Amino acid sequence: MAYGAGEFDGEFMAVAATEVRPTDVVLNPARYVADPAALPGGMIDIFRPADPARECDACDAGPGEPCGSECLGLAALDDATGYGFADVS
């Protein structure tokens, strides 16, 4: 199920763990997942960017690169979903 993303260019959705893409941001806390197969089974809350090949305006990640752990964009995604700020330490 997809939800509107408001100010973010993409969609919030819940997908089966087997459907998570490497360019998706897994929420609670917001993070990129290097190996989607390592996620626990079941449904996973994610943000799917509309254009994952675009550079991030909130950090120095280039096109197609995941954001760094200090990226304010990841914290903003968690904040927008009500999970609080990303805990990426």
- Answer for the pair 30, 62: CB distance below 8 angstroms, yes or no: no
3-class SS of residue 76: helix
User: pTM of the prediction?
Assistant: 0.70
Domain residues for the domain of 47 are 2-81
> Looking at per-residue confidence, does 49 or 67 come out higher?
49
Is 73 inside a domain boundary?
yes
- pLDDT tens, residue by residue, 5-29: 456 778 888 999 999 988 888 888 8
Is 88 inside a domain boundary?
no
Q: How many domains does the chain have?
A: 1
For residue 85, name the pLDDT band (cuts at 50, 70, 90): very low
Is 7 inside a domain boundary?
yes
3-class SS of residue 22: coil
Is 60 inside a domain boundary?
yes
